[in-house]
Structure 1
């Protein structure tokens, strides 16, 4: 029964509907009520596998293969979450169990376990305590800890009350002044089409959005493809004589691999604004290549540059996979940014809820800290 309830919590909580996220708060109680380490492992596996159920189909789309590679990666990714919660489970109730859950929650939120720390219940703090900031994060953490004790009904009633109040008066995050995101539907051709006509179409799209009053236009991850001097010249010439600035995804290649980046382009200059801290493991980030003396794969810039300066204000960029994790967001929020810029290239998520889950998570973080949010995705 506990494993079944954990599966339901994973499915509903991570359905892609932001107001459903607090259902994930049930997981600590289900883990705590387990009567053996094996059952606790089953509860963790049921919750995580249900929450990340779209992964096999997404991997199959990405590699144009059958489901088997995705199923293997799905199970392998769950092993981190399951092993931590199984190892820290205890049959001793009270303070010790709560502290052990706290340790598990911290470990799965931070590297190295946090590298695949999807579906972390703490992300729901933004729905239950919108606008509370770090205090809301502490309140949500305290609520989850109490859920592992015999006072769990009180915690459930309190969190449920805040949740209902929040849902009744829920508002979406505001847009940053002057920033507008552009969603595209170019599919897998985005970033792979090197034709001049494709770049001119993107420039025309930017100009149409700028005419509606945007000073800074945000394009999705990988929108520009490989960043080259010729491409820089094309865009700078196109933006010359305007006050428009473009933030767009691109790839910067060197002999050892590549950086997944956001570039800032205006008529005056072009620069690398942000380098992705955590690319997708296996598909992009392949650290074993360097151990074997091989190049290739995306570089991970882990704890560097969590915020950037943009038009006199601080912005927290989040590229695709980073939106599913906890530590990239918290690292950026420590610097009190004025806006969150969330971009992604989700063509490979067709038929899944992955992009919806990403959006739900970024919306929850933006509401928790009261920060404006701009998004730009390709599908």
Structure 2
């Protein structure tokens, strides 16, 4: 019995360690995620491959149960159920594509990697090892993505020890000369600590506080100020007039999160406001499934919650520049960042409202993932989060 279960147990335990450390929120630790395809390929049975996949994903997303419980002010069981449900597609894809064969199977793993990078499976494609490309090949752009893809294929082949040594060398070299993504000139991201009240407190006092924050940052020379997801609450004509009047006399543009409600649901958006103009700049491509995006609800007479504009507005215009906006959950996925990079943007803007993640590493993971993409494509990066 020890002989039969010893190896699967060791692989599963190792997968827990890989998921936990790689997705701890430290960008330079992301390459440890490359241990997962190695462990998956070393599995001798489908059951072992399933356990390895589940162990990796569940450990990487370990903050979800506590975060969901905080968000819904409920007990931990609701969070645990959502945690297990979210892992289903990742585990199923990797379990089904594992094959009992004596030779290498890089094609099967690459297919799994592609499926978990794009919808529909990519909707829960968190903790994707390819995110580490930005650490191993900073500045390489699409060539770095190709090199990372080749590396993933090599890690599930007979040559995996040599490939692992080569990738480790790239990792050490990159870590030795690592610098954080640049902040674009005249841009300023504002981090807030308003907790759960952000987006829910829509009082005039709250708007005045935010306006004061913006004008103070503008006095320091910043011309584009970024506020977090949900900062303005509901985007209405009254809020629009208030902000445009408040910005009169200031040469500043504010990018801020808000919600636009209609009869069938709402859009999670980022708006651009200046003294002379205002518009909806970006509509979220992928809201959080389950808590925000609920496409099944119309079947039962409800609304779909936050709308998903899956492949819309990958790049938006701010002044004369081209900007990528990633709102919260999108920072954990692969396709929103890569789709946007096809448009060769000038700046990446990452916003979030992470008050519910307190005590977890979720916001740190979002920041690390986005920083990795910014480094891969050498793009300036602006963060704005509420905690």
Fold shared per TM-score above 0.5: yes
Alignment of 1:112-131 (within 5 A): 112-131=120-139
User: Counterpart of 1:31?
Assistant: 40
Cα displacement (A) at 1:292:
2.9
Partner of 1:298: 306
Deviation per CA, 1:182-216: give whole Å up to 9, x if none.
00000000011111011000000001111111100
Instruction: Tell me if structure 1 keeps the 8 A contact 2:296–2:304.
Output: no
Q: Aligned to 2:172, which of 164, 168, 176? A: 164
Structure 2, unaligned runs of 5 or more: 1-9
Matched, 1:17 2:26: yes
Deviations 1:140-169 (A, max 9, x none): 111111111111011101000000000000
Aligned to 1:340: 348
User: SS state of the match for residue 116, structure 2?
Assistant: helix
Deviation string for 1:207-256 (max 9, x for gaps)? 11111111000000000000111100000000112211000000000010
Give 4+ residue runs of structure 1 displaced > 3 Å after superposition: none
Please say if 1:284 is aligned against 2:292: yes
Match of 1:59 in 2: 68
Equivalent of residue 264 in structure 1, options 262, 266, 272: 272
Q: Distance in 2 between matches of 1:331 and 1:139?
A: 18
TM-score (norm 2): 0.97
Separation (CA, whole Å) in 1 of partners of 2:277 and 2:93 = 47
- 1:94 deviates by 3.8
Give the Cα separation in 1 of the matches to 2:87 and 2:38.
19
Q: Identify if the C-alpha distance between structure 1 residues 368 and 93 changes in structure 2 by more than 3 Å, giving closer, same or farther.
A: farther
Which structure 1 segments of 5+ residues have no match? none
Following the alignment from structure 2 to structure 1, what is the Cα–Cα distance between the partners of residues 327 and 302?
25
Report the equivalent of 2:321. Answer: 313
Residue 351 of structure 1 corresponds to 359
> 1:278, 1:240 → 2: CA distance?
34
Q: Secondary structure at the match of 1:258?
A: strand
Tell me the residue number matched to 2:208. Answer: 200
Task: Select the residue among 91, 101, 106 that pairs with 1:92.
Answer: 101
Partner residue of 1:79 out of 64, 76, 88: 88
Equivalent residue for 1:175?
Answer: 183
Distance 1:296 1:157 in 2: 48
Give the aligned partner of residue 105 of structure 1.
Answer: 113
Q: Which residue in the other structure is 2:7 paired with?
A: none
1:235 and 1:69 map into 2 onto residues whose CA distance is 39
Query: How big is the alpha-carbon RMSD for the aligned residues of Structure 1 and Structure 2?
Result: 0.8
2:162 pairs with 1:154? yes
TM value normalised by structure 1: 0.99
2:6 equivalent in structure 1:
none
| Residue aligned with 1:109, SS | coil
C-alpha distance in structure 1 between counterparts of 2:328 and 2:311, whole Å: 17
Q: 2 CA distance for matches of 1:378 and 1:94?
A: 49
How far apart are residue 294 of structure 1 and its match? 2.4
Shift of 1:295: 2.1
Residues 1:3 and 2:12 aligned together: yes
User: Conserved in 2, the CA contact under 8 Å of 1:245 and 1:266?
Assistant: yes
Give the Cα separation in 1 of the matches to 2:333 and 2:310.
12
Structure 1 residues 274 and 143, CA gap change in structure 2 (3 angstroms): same
Q: CA deviation at 1:90?
A: 1.0
Contact 2:295–2:304 under 8 Å retained in 1:
no
